[in-house]
């Protein structure tokens, strides 16, 4: 199962965890090489994703994500140089930009006029420190105009499932007191945090108005999605990663 849309020769897809070959906790479309899943299964899963776009796995680019705000610009010969980023943009055709998530939000960007695409991994750290703005800035660097950039946010952990403590809350309030609107206090030192709402506000603050959003909760919907937080609560040793993708097709 996946959630996709074709925009002329720009195609993007948010894949669920269904449709792969991995087993047990990784069942079944685990595309995260950072997991402890059987590597040949991960390779087969990534091949299935590539074949969806009628491309080979050498055209599928994923990053070593560290919850940073760093964004790389993919050119024809610098793939190894941009590996250590949480965001990526490109004008290169037939290169599938992939973001791996398991509760954090995958955010895809596209400019259909200039044929420029971007993708970023937006957990709370990246969203707070500027991954959204930096991805947009990288697209502007490649020639996009703000008015032409559209955005789509994939499945992520929902507010009702995202319980945090007061130290987490204080980090956001110290950054901007207005961030309190993304928290609901339900105990003396416990809150629910609206990651999706916070990301949408970051997009709007950067003049992005055309925003679509798949409002599905990765924590609650175990059949469809992997979830880091759910794996912790179930005391599982590891977890799979969904992949979200965007490509400019020739």
Whether 116 is covered by a domain: the verdict is yes
What's the pLDDT at 77? 85
Whether 108 is covered by a domain: the verdict is yes
> Can you give the CATH number for the domain in which 80 is found?
3.60.140.10
- CB distance 68 to 126 below 8 Å: yes
- The answer to whether residue 2 scores a pLDDT higher than 60 is no
pLDDT digits (tens, 9 = 90+) for 127-159: 999 999 999 999 999 999 999 999 999 999 999
Q: For residue 2, what are the CA distances in angstroms to 25, 29, 197? A: 19, 11, 22
pLDDT digits (tens, 9 = 90+) for 78-87: 988 999 999 9
Whether 6 is covered by a domain: the verdict is yes
For residue 28, is the peptide bond before it cis, meaning its omega torsion is within 30 degrees of 0? yes
Whether 58 is covered by a domain: the verdict is yes
What does DSSP say about strands 149-153 and 211-213: parallel, antiparallel, or unpaired? parallel
What's the predicted TM-score (pTM) here? 0.96
The tally of domains found in the chain comes to 1
Instruction: Print the domain residue range for 37.
Output: 2-159+210-248
The rounded distance, in Å, linking the Cα atoms of 207 and 193 is 23
The rounded distance, in Å, linking the Cα atoms of 236 and 232 is 6
- The answer to whether residue 8 scores a pLDDT higher than 80 is no
* 153 φ/ψ sector (left φ>0, alpha ψ -120 to 50, else beta): beta
pLDDT digits (tens, 9 = 90+) for 19-41: 999 999 999 999 999 999 999 99
Helix (H, G, I), strand (E, B), or coil: what is residue 13?
strand
Higher-confidence position of 6 and 19: 19
Whether 146 is covered by a domain: the verdict is yes
Helix (H) or strand (E) holding 231: helix 228-233
Question: Could you tell me the pLDDT band of residue 115, with boundaries at 50, 70 and 90?
Answer: very high
What's the pLDDT at 98? 98
- If you average pLDDT over residues 182-198, what whole number do you get? 97
Whether 188 is covered by a domain: the verdict is no
- Residues pairing with 112 in the sheet: none
Whether 175 is covered by a domain: the verdict is no
- The answer to whether residue 247 scores a pLDDT higher than 80 is yes
Edge-to-edge order in the sheet of strand 10-15: 2-7, 10-15, 242-248, 96-101, 60-61
Question: Could you tell me the pLDDT band of residue 4, with boundaries at 50, 70 and 90?
Answer: low
- Residues pairing with 150 in the sheet: 110
Whether 169 is covered by a domain: the verdict is no
């Amino acid at each position: 199962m996946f959630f996709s849309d074709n925009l002329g020769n720009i195609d993007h897809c948010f894949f669920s965890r269904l449709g792969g070959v991995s087993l047990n906790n990784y069942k079944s479309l685990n595309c995260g090489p950072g997991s402890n899943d059987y590597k040949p299964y991960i390779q087969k899963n990534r091949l299935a994703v590539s074949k969806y776009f009628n491309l080979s796995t050498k055209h599928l680019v994923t990053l070593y994500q560290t919850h940073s705000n760093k964004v790389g610009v993919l050119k024809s010969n610098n793939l190894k140089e941009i590996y250590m980023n949480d965001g990526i943009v490109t004008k290169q055709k037939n290169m599938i930009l992939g973001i791996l998530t398991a509760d954090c939000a995958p955010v895809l960007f596209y400019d259909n006029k200039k044929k420029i695409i971007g993708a970023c991994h937006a957990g709370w750290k990246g969203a707070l420190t500027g991954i959204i703005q930096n991805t947009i800035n990288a697209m502007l660097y490649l020639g996009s105009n703000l008015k032409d950039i559209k955005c789509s946010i994939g499945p992520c952990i929902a507010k009702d499932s995202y319980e945090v403590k007061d130290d987490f809350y204080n980090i956001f309030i110290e950054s901007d007191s207005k961030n309190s609107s993304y928290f609901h206090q339900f105990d003396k030192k416990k809150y629910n945090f609206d990651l999706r709402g916070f990301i949408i506000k970051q997009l709007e603050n950067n003049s992005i108005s055309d925003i679509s959003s798949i409002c599905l909760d990765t924590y609650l919907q175990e059949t469809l999605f992997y979830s880091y937080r759910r794996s912790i609560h179930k005391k599982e040793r590891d977890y799979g990663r969904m992949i979200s993708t965007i490509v400019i097709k020739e």
